[in-house]
């Protein structure tokens, strides 16, 4: 199974080089089309460019970097790779592009160029995450030293251990084709986790809780059954009761997934930029790469 189209926004002079092995891993999984996008911000022109240089110089050097990436990704078996350099505010350009011509997936780094270690997510990715309806894969970069891409590490063995979080919602169901796609990387293990959220259970009686548990045990078994022919070595289902965020982060702590796959509510009506609290917490606090599906 191939992913139809993937949009990859890149910070050319930041962590892009660090992200390349992880992006290559995604490309090798099977993508029909990839589009690289770099957005030149006005501020960058002011700070980085000598007064004598004109725009064509900057665009030329960005072009060289992007061209190199393009051929790297083509070498991973993607037949159609394009790249574009736009001017503006990155997250707005990214959203606009994704809206005009929706890709199957957007891939972005957790950090770009500023690289502040205590910041959990860079502002471009944060904004795209809150405003897009397109599935977003956030590549986790660990930052040791502010502004230093050399201090960043990334796990490029993305699909070794997959943690799939489900509340059996429509959004969570839309994760299933992505898991099938990842399965071709031959993960060692897939954990399918559902948390019986005590905040929602209240004021259910013990009898009702037992009923929920039975129903959800059945639903987990059905999911496992469905995924059994994907070719994943081991599939484990887990049903736990507690605070959803705490339990999920607890399982992530012990299982150490390389990637977490989860659904999240899309934008609803007047309440734009809505992201469920669980998705918010996982994206900000887990160590793994995270795929958020709407």
Residue 172 binds to ligand ATP (criterion: CB under 6 A) = no
Q: Does 284 bind ligand ATP (CB under 6 A)?
A: no
**Minimum CB–partner distance for residue 121 and Mn ion (Å):** 11
Report, in Å, the least distance between residue 30 CB and ligand ATP: 21
3-state secondary structure (DSSP) of residue 117? coil
Residue of 275, 245, 254, 278 lying closest to 191 (CA atoms): 254
**Contact between 288 and 154 (Cβ < 8 Å):** no
Alpha-carbon span 190 to 276, nearest angstrom = 23
The runs of H, that is alpha helices, within the chain are 16-29, 42-48, 55-75, 90-100, 123-131, 170-173, 176-183, 198-201, 206-227, 244-255, 277-285
Q: Is 10 in the site for ligand ATP (CB under 6 A)?
A: yes
Shortest Å distance, C-beta 24 to Mn ion: 22
**Under rule CB under 6 A, residue 122 binds ligand ATP:** yes
Instruction: Report how far residue 19's alpha carbon sits from residue 23's, in angstroms, rounded to the nearest whole number.
Output: 6
- The footprint of ligand ATP on residues 181-200 (CB under 6 A) is none
Give the pairing type, strands 289-293 and 31-40.
unpaired
Backbone angles phi, psi at 161, to 5 degrees: -130, 120
Q: Which option in ligand ATP, Mn ion, none does residue 125 bind, with CB closer than 5 to 8 A by kind?
A: ligand ATP
Work out how close the CB of 49 gets to ligand ATP at its nearest, in angstroms, rounded to a whole number.
14
Q: Which residues bind Mn ion (CB under 5 A)?
A: 112-114
Is residue 111 involved in binding ligand ATP (CB under 6 A)?
Answer: yes
Could you tell me which residues come within 8 angstroms of residue 68 by beta carbon, excluding any fewer than 6 positions away?
Answer: none
Of 68-76, 110-118, 215-223, 228-236, the window that binds ligand ATP (rule: CB under 6 A) is 110-118
| Residue 257 binding result from Mn ion, ligand ATP, none, given CB thresholds of 5 to 8 Å by partner type | none
- CA distances, 92 to each of 34, 122, 123, 130, 276 (Å): 20, 14, 11, 12, 22
Q: Where are the alpha helices (DSSP H) in 76-205?
A: 90-100, 123-131, 170-173, 176-183, 198-201
Residue 109 touches which of ligand ATP, Mn ion, none (CB < 5 to 8 A by kind)? ligand ATP
Site mask for ligand ATP (CB under 6 A), range 29-68, x = bound? --------xxx-x---------------------------
Nearer to Mn ion, 103 or 112 (CB): 112
To ligand ATP, the closest distance from the beta carbon of 244 in angstroms equals 26
Q: Is 135 in the site for ligand ATP (CB under 6 A)?
A: no
Interface with ligand ATP (CB under 6 A): 9-11, 14-15, 37-39, 41, 90, 108-109, 111-115, 122-125
């Amino acid at each position: 199974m191939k992913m139809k189209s993937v949009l990859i926004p890149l910070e050319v002079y930041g962590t892009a080089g660090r992200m390349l092995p992880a992006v290559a891993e995604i490309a090798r999984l099977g993508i029909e089309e990839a589009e690289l996008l770099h957005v030149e911000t006005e501020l960058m022109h002011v700070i980085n460019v000598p007064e004598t240089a004109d725009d064509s110089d900057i665009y030329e050097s960005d072009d060289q970097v992007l061209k190199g990436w393009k051929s790297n990704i083509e070498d991973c078996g993607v037949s159609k790779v394009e790249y574009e350099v736009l001017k503006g505010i990155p997250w707005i350009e990214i959203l606009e592009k994704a809206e005009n011509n929706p890709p199957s997936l957007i891939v972005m780094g957790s950090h770009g160029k500023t690289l502040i270690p205590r910041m959990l997510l860079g502002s471009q990715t944060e904004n795209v995450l809150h405003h897009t309806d397109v599935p977003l894969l956030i590549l986790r970069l660990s930052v040791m030293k502010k502004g230093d891409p050399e201090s960043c590490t990334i796990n490029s063995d993305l699909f070794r251990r997959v943690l799939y979080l489900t509340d059996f919602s429509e959004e969570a169901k839309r994760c299933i084709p992505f898991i099938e796609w990842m399965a071709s990387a031959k993960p060692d293990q897939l954990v399918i986790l559902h948390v019986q959220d005590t905040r929602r259970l209240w004021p259910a009686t013990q009898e009702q809780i037992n009923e929920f548990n039975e129903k959800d045990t059945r639903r987990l078994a059905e999911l496992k059954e469905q995924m059994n022919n994907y070719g994943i070595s081991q599939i484990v289902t887990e049903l736990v009761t507690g605070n959803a965020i705490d339990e999920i982060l607890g399982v992530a702590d012990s299982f150490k997934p390389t990637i977490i796959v989860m659904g999240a509510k899309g934008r609803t009506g007047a309440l734009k930029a809505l992201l469920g609290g669980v998705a918010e917490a996982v994206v900000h606090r887990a160590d793994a790469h995270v795929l958020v599906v709407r």
